[in-house]
Amino acid sequence: MTQVVSPFDQLRSAIAGSVVTPEDPGYDDARRVWNADIDRRPAAVAYCETTEDVATAVTAARRASLEISVRSGAHSTSGASVGDGGLVIDLSRMNDVEVDPERRRAVVGGGALLRDVDAATQAHGLAVPAGEIGHTGVAGLTLGGGMGWLTRRHGLTIDNLLSARVVLADGRVLRAAEDENPDLFWALTGGGGNFGIVTSFEFALHEVGPTVHVGMLFYGVEDGPAALRTARAAIRDLPADVTFQVVALHAPPAPFVPEEHRFRLVIALAVVGFGDESSFGAVVDRCRSGVAPLFEMVGPMPYTALQQMFDETFAWGVHCYEKATYVAELTHDVAETFLAGLDGMDSPLSVVHFYVLSGAYSEVAEEATAFSGGRSPRLAVFLVGAAADAAGLASQRAWSRAMFDALAPHSLGAGAYVNGMGADDAHRIRDSYGTKYDRLARIKAVYDPENVFHRNGNILPAR
Ligand SMILES: Cc1cc2nc3c(=O)[nH]c(=O)nc-3n(C[C@H](O)[C@H](O)[C@H](O)COP(=O)(O)OP(=O)(O)OC[C@H]3O[C@@H](n4cnc5c(N)ncnc54)[C@H](O)[C@@H]3O)c2cc1C
């Protein structure tokens, strides 16, 4: 009698890593992603340890007609990195970071988290410009663009990408760089997970810190109009070494928050200085000059601490829904719409985030990368509805959508940063890439003609 061997047993014996199926202990952990609102049951999760493992897993999934999802940091809020009934190819064990301080280069495993990269590079006083929460995955963040505190100073993460190793849908492994498979390389600079599975990235590094200047100034919502007028003027005149963000949040029960203001809805103006104290101090003074903040936290801080400052606030296990858009400026109309929209933001976990994108961000030519957004100075807006449970999320999902609709007349087009897209934003992908979409579709037709990698901001292969 012949014994039938399951594809997962075969995969298990073929890879250095491990495979978890519903019968295995640890399956519930293996299927979890950052957003607790995503509750999916894949047929298996393959924890890969090498590029060969990834190639073997892709081939095995295709042979068994299983849908593939690719997971690195598991932070996709729409749950793109885990699907029902398919194979999750997980890279979290491939998190090595090798730094060459002489050449100012880092080679980063496809499953590394931002905090892995920050720790290894800051040991040499260097950094890769990336995002703001230490437990976010480098891979998903980079492939969509990657924005954070250093974007004004050194550009998006993709603006610092030098090369990538990629497993294609047919199991081949390629290096992509400006001088090798340049079309694929270009597609990776913003085109998301559409083209293959990246098992390592090579980045250019910059001198950063190790100490930076951080100012967080918090205002009552009633003082919002004045605080936002000040912010608008400050943003327009920012020195090159200072970055700025505007956030609406409920004040956390942190030591720097006076007891009477804890859990209160506030507007925060966040200023980070990467150069000397005087240019930073001038921006902070300007923020104080309009209307007085309710409270503030201003001082020097290690860069690595800044990069993990909000890790607990955005910890794994919240139920989350988000929408994103771009606005050109914090005009009177944008400010008014934003403040009026805060009425429905009644979960202490929800936030609105305006990332200021200008400076080095705007020095990169429009077509130089596949990024889903123009390079003119702008603010990326994230409307993040979050709650402790699914019932609480329902009202915050409605709030996020309503605020998005209200901001639409003031937005820069119908598209957005693809890494901030909600689960119901698939129809906005084409608008987000604009004129780049057709080029991406042609490259997709070359490297993934059957759309094997479709659990992402999907670009359909050109016919
Ligand atoms: C708490 C939080 C904070 C965030 N902060 C920022 C921020 O400051 N700046 C910013 O720009 N964005 C930020 N984001 C958005 C973030 O960039 C995206 O969610 C991104 O997809 C996360 O990458 P990941 O590897 O963790 O995600 P995953 O969920 O693991 O992957 C998401 C998708 O990326 C693709 N992908 C992942 N790994 C690979 C790989 N190795 N090869 C090919 N494709 C792959 C796949 O299509 C996958 O479906 C944040 C998100 C969260 C939840």
**Ligand 1 centre distance from Cα of residue 322 (Å):** 13
Q: How far apart are CA 84 and CA 417, in angstroms?
A: 26
What is the model's pLDDT at position 354?
98
CA-71 nearest atom, ligand 1 = 30
In ligand 1, the atom with minimum distance to the C-alpha of 33 is 29
CATH architecture of 211-424: 3-Layer(aba) Sandwich (3.40)
Ligand 1 atom with least separation from CA of 320: 53
CATH for 97-207+435-447 (3.90.1150.10, 3.30.465.10, 2.40.30.10, 3.40.50.920)? 3.30.465.10
Q: Which residues of the chain have pLDDT under 70?
A: 1-3
Q: Quote the crossing angle between the two packed helices 390-407 and 332-341, to the nearest 10°.
A: 160
- Note the pLDDT of residue 422: 80
Q: Which atom of ligand 1 is nearest the CA belonging to 194? A: 47
Closest CA to ligand 1's atom 13: 131
Contact 121, 108 (CB under 8 A): no
458 Cα–ligand 1 center, Å: 14
CATH C-level class of 10-90: alpha beta
What's the 142 CA to ligand 1 centre distance in angstroms? 8
| pLDDT number for residue 371 | 98
- For residue 206, what are the CA distances in angstroms to 112, 146, 163, 185, 432? 19, 16, 17, 21, 29
Residue with the nearest Cα to atom 52 of ligand 1?
Answer: 75
**Beta-bridge partner residues of 462:** none
pLDDT of residue 2: 65
Boundaries of every domain in the chain: 10-90, 97-207+435-447, 211-424
Distance 435 CA to ligand 1 centre (A): 24
The answer to whether the CB of 350 falls within 8 A of the CB of 387 is yes
Ligand 1 atom 17 nearest Cα: 141
In angstroms, the CA 209 to CA 127 distance is 9
Tell me, in angstroms, the distance from the centre of ligand 1 to residue 314's CA: 14
Give the integer Cα–Cα distance in Å for 430 and 111: 28
* Residue to substitute in 40, 68, 75, 202 for testing ligand 1 pocket (most ligand atoms within 8 angstroms of CB): 75
pTM of the model: 0.97
* Residue ID of nearest Cα to ligand 1 atom 8: 131
Q: For residue 1, what pLDDT is reported? A: 60
Q: How far is the CA of 97 from the centre of ligand 1 (A)?
A: 18
Q: How far is the CA of 430 from the centre of ligand 1 (A)?
A: 19
pLDDT at 5: 76
Choose one of 69, 72, 272 to mutate for the ligand 1 pocket test, by most ligand atoms within 8 angstroms of C-beta: 72
